[in-house]
Structure 1
């Protein structure tokens, strides 16, 4: 009995074809449904009724007896009969060819896709190829599977040239190079990574004697193929559509590196990248949490005003320890990596978040109903903890504070030292015969001498007084220079004492403002003069003259001094030569306060405006409008871009120095004019005519002892 692969296909053999008229005659006598089901646009590769043994055309009738198909004389062949494609006639199974099964999804490319791997067909096409590499058949299916008219057939195994087919070629094969270029286009578009790959031994589409070109290496010039006509469906490479997710696509390089190299790589990443590394794996999480990585991240924020003073770590441990010998042994400065930088970074980020909120914070009473409803949808802003300190018997004109204490001057002619943490009065000094209008001192003088090499000091040295420097100005026209002393105490804050070192007499009017640095003491007065003193010798070095009214405030930066006067002008001076460098004019009324840091100058005026100036060019960079009365005091940090101002309108405002926008506003802190204001990374401290000192603390619940 013949097998399906041995059935002679008329598509492959020219001598088995009849002429067109004869074929049309057979088609007219065939069952219409049977012919319709077994023919296709490409020319059917399967058995049709014209190929069956015809006995006076009755072989196609449903009533034909089973023995009519007894080819080998065996009457039992009827048992091997079956319906073909649902037709009414039955044909021997030996004369049928089963249509190949539909593909099923698989991750193996040789079992999914009509583009089948068939290494045998290329033994006919390229008989000299000796390798057994599987190749994509691209439509060159073996005999008994599929026929494409006009393309290489089984006769290529004999002649190596395509034989002419009497069948009418398919429309899709005659227009735009047919289905094969279309398959290639689909593969090329679906698999971008494979554009440049060619398997050796695959014939080109334009070989000699055919419609294809073969390269010498057997590769195909796909780039010159024409596109499809778009009539048939897309054919997509299953390798592009189905990816084996179980395949290993890479390796964890970071985990295989030495720890030192892995940490060095992580140190170049920014914060979002480090946070992403924390979620990759346990190994990445351990590396990304390393102390050295977060120290680098913290150091990058120094340009934004983030700073740490490691000396305070030993001081904090000393204060918390009841054992004085243990305190002495802990007085050394810790190594940088002994600090938990991850915790410091989180704490400082939270601290900055508490500062930055929408401008209407605390103004709910002034909002309309619609605005109130809109505000409820916004997360509640952080409200700082308020501490009010009382002790002065009259108006408090000036203040300065550091990490542990506040020093204030008052109209009651006294100078008081307060604990920043508890508000307790630590000391009171008297030396002026008039109101104390201004003061400056060396910040954190009691820890300034710790160098990290004194861990061997004895208990006597550990409890020795630490000496500081204080300068005050008064309405009595004098400048007093004080020696400050901090006396360490076991488990308590140091006791503060002071004595007058010198009294500087040169002004003929009240001393309204002061500035100090490591070289100079600068004072200004109602007499319209600015005096510059040598800090070491306390001798008068120069006097700056040029204002026509009282000089209400001065600023000092290096060898330059800037002064603000009630005449509405501010002047930039050179300290060494006494020369006037530049005169700024822009305010409509007299100036009340001024700050000079780096190359920025900020002024507050009786015109209720704040102006930001470029010290080098004299240009006004921006004007901040928001206060209702005289802007009495201000201070700013050029790195963080935070500016705090206080006014006679009883408000304290926080501004963004770079954009000029209002960030926060605090009302109700004082019930009268505010005379002075200062701030650091976690507090705002203000003084007022109401005799109160108000501390707004943003660091509640946070450990900010190391921040500066």
Structure 2
């Protein structure tokens, strides 16, 4: 990303702050490419004087005197104190104040651009790299600030991955690639920088309904009732697991076991090293549509409208969660909360220890087919063709992308920089919040 001048950066901060403060509007349907129109505000010019009378804050800090000329000469506290003290004072200011004082005078402008001040400002972001005094913290803060603004207002650049010749059921992605599974019986690898397909894997004899991978292996499940374990280095099959009597709807694994669930109403636990079947759990009265593993606890969601928690070492059912009025399609669990989506068109958040439903999110107009969440937000997708972003603390719908897909959405994943979704329309949609930003700091 090319560096802008400091004055340009200051103006952008200032204008975006004003927009955030005054432009309160309800969400509207996005355009066909999934982008929300950029909104503009009238720029309000604020003039400043270096005299005592121009700033009530500074005036209160400097004693009044009868000698006007003498008072004027001592009006700027940055001339009275060492730079280190001035830095400490300014380090306690918020973003709005820092943007405004940069317009007071040249001396205040250069002080407001101190790297130490912006290093402290960056402490509000969860930085994923090791702090260093040699980094440009003003630049880093701006990247994170603009990314947050884009999440707040739904500003994205959209890209479609075209290559599957039938519905795309499942996906996973990381910083360099996207992996997708389809009804066309293939698994495809896509370069996240070029959005081109780099490899196609063939092995299943039916639709690829689910997949999960790490650095070493990938596990995929299919409507052909089997599970294939793939080597992620060579992209070759390691082994095929047989035992389910209907389609495999979801898979997950850890260092010891692979766990699968099926339309046959069972959960099966397999040894990850040799593929031996360790346990079969008669789990639900309907298809087991989704599972999520955390440590030794597994959460399952079924078409029978129940969520259950299991101890995978014993196969014991630890808890049952009741509240949805129709069958469940998806569930996620991170050890602290459970989030589920159902054919009753709602998303529910649960306390995993008590079984209590903490919150319901309402807004989708059809089956909630898929969802994921982090500590701040839930991202869900539905047969109503929309992708929605929710505040995980309040349940408020923050964003509603309604034009990204032209048919049912089957899977959605996200991180701090993008949302990726797969649909019956045979396409994978990438919504990028970082277009034009310096992504090395995310």
Query: TM class by shorter-chain length?
Result: 0.7 to 0.9
Greater strand percent: which structure? Answer: 2
- Partner SS, residue 356 of structure 1: helix
Question: Which consecutive unaligned segments of at least 5 residues does structure 2 have?
Answer: 1-62
RMSD: 3.0
Aligned positions of 1:378-397 closer than 5 A: 383-397=155-169
Which of residues 611, 617, 620 is equivalent to 2:354? 617
Cα distance change of structure 1 residues 280 and 559 upon mapping to structure 2, 3 Å threshold: farther
Question: 1:526 maps to which residue?
Answer: 263
What TM-score do you get using the length of structure 2 for normalisation? 0.76
**Cα distance in 1, alignment partners of residues 158 and 248 from structure 2:** 31
Which of residues 103, 106, 118 is equivalent to 1:294? 118
Cα distance change of structure 1 residues 564 and 286 upon mapping to structure 2, 3 Å threshold: same
Is residue 673 of structure 1 aligned with residue 408 of structure 2? yes
Is residue 694 of structure 1 aligned with residue 429 of structure 2? yes
Question: 1:596 maps to which residue?
Answer: 333
Post-superposition shift, 1:279? 6.0
Is residue 606 of structure 1 aligned with residue 426 of structure 2? no
Post-superposition shift, 1:614? 1.5
**Cα distance in 2, alignment partners of residues 551 and 345 from structure 1:** 45
State whether residues 348 and 361 of structure 2, in contact with CA within 8 Å, keep that contact through their aligned partners in structure 1.
Answer: yes
Question: 1:463 maps to which residue?
Answer: none
Cα distance change of structure 1 residues 269 and 392 upon mapping to structure 2, 3 Å threshold: same
Aligned positions of 1:204-215 closer than 5 A: none
Post-superposition shift, 1:551? 0.7
**Cα distance in 2, alignment partners of residues 298 and 541 from structure 1:** 49
Question: 1:548 maps to which residue?
Answer: 285
**Cα distance in 2, alignment partners of residues 611 and 624 from structure 1:** 6
Cα distance change of structure 1 residues 702 and 250 upon mapping to structure 2, 3 Å threshold: closer
Cα distance change of structure 1 residues 243 and 622 upon mapping to structure 2, 3 Å threshold: farther
Aligned positions of 1:244-255 closer than 5 A: 244-245=67-68, 246-247=70-71, 248=74, 252=78, 255=81
State whether residues 418 and 425 of structure 1, in contact with CA within 8 Å, keep that contact through their aligned partners in structure 2.
Answer: yes
Post-superposition shift, 1:545? 3.5
**Cα distance in 2, alignment partners of residues 646 and 438 from structure 1:** 16
Post-superposition shift, 1:272? 5.2
State whether residues 255 and 283 of structure 1, in contact with CA within 8 Å, keep that contact through their aligned partners in structure 2.
Answer: no
Cα distance change of structure 1 residues 528 and 682 upon mapping to structure 2, 3 Å threshold: same
Which of residues 415, 419, 435 is equivalent to 2:187? 415
Question: 1:683 maps to which residue?
Answer: 418
Cα distance change of structure 1 residues 285 and 626 upon mapping to structure 2, 3 Å threshold: same
Post-superposition shift, 1:428? 0.5
Aligned positions of 1:278-289 closer than 5 A: 286=110, 289=113
Question: Which consecutive unaligned segments of at least 5 residues does structure 1 have?
Answer: 1-239, 311-334, 358-381, 446-467, 486-496
Cα distance change of structure 1 residues 475 and 295 upon mapping to structure 2, 3 Å threshold: farther
Question: 1:350 maps to which residue?
Answer: 146
Cα distance change of structure 1 residues 293 and 541 upon mapping to structure 2, 3 Å threshold: farther
Cα distance change of structure 1 residues 263 and 516 upon mapping to structure 2, 3 Å threshold: farther
**Cα distance in 2, alignment partners of residues 536 and 271 from structure 1:** 53
Which of residues 362, 366, 375 is equivalent to 1:629? 366
Post-superposition shift, 1:249? 8.3
**Cα distance in 1, alignment partners of residues 313 and 374 from structure 2:** 26
Post-superposition shift, 1:291? 4.0
Q: Between the two structures, name the one with larger relative contact order (CA 8 Å, sep ≥ 6).
A: 2
Post-superposition shift, 1:538? 5.1
Which of residues 215, 219, 239 is equivalent to 1:502? 239
Post-superposition shift, 1:392? 0.9
Question: 1:49 maps to which residue?
Answer: none
Question: 1:308 maps to which residue?
Answer: 128
Post-superposition shift, 1:692? 1.1
Aligned positions of 1:168-187 closer than 5 A: none
**Cα distance in 2, alignment partners of residues 587 and 254 from structure 1:** 66
Question: 1:116 maps to which residue?
Answer: none
Aligned positions of 1:91-490 closer than 5 A: 243-245=66-68, 246-247=70-71, 248=74, 252=78, 255-256=81-82, 271=95, 286=110, 289-302=113-126, 307-308=127-128, 336-357=132-153, 383-442=155-214, 445=215, 468-485=216-233
Q: Which has the larger radius of gyration?
A: 1
- Partner SS, residue 437 of structure 1: strand
Cα distance change of structure 1 residues 291 and 520 upon mapping to structure 2, 3 Å threshold: farther
What TM-score do you get using the length of structure 1 for normalisation? 0.49
**Cα distance in 2, alignment partners of residues 286 and 249 from structure 1:** 17
Which of residues 294, 319, 340 is equivalent to 1:557? 294
**Cα distance in 2, alignment partners of residues 250 and 338 from structure 1:** 29
For these two proteins, the number of residue pairs brought into alignment is 377
**Cα distance in 2, alignment partners of residues 537 and 440 from structure 1:** 18
Question: 1:364 maps to which residue?
Answer: none
Post-superposition shift, 1:416? 0.3
**Cα distance in 1, alignment partners of residues 221 and 433 from structure 2:** 31
Cα distance change of structure 1 residues 576 and 274 upon mapping to structure 2, 3 Å threshold: farther
Aligned positions of 1:80-95 closer than 5 A: none
- Partner SS, residue 690 of structure 1: coil
**Cα distance in 2, alignment partners of residues 270 and 685 from structure 1:** 34
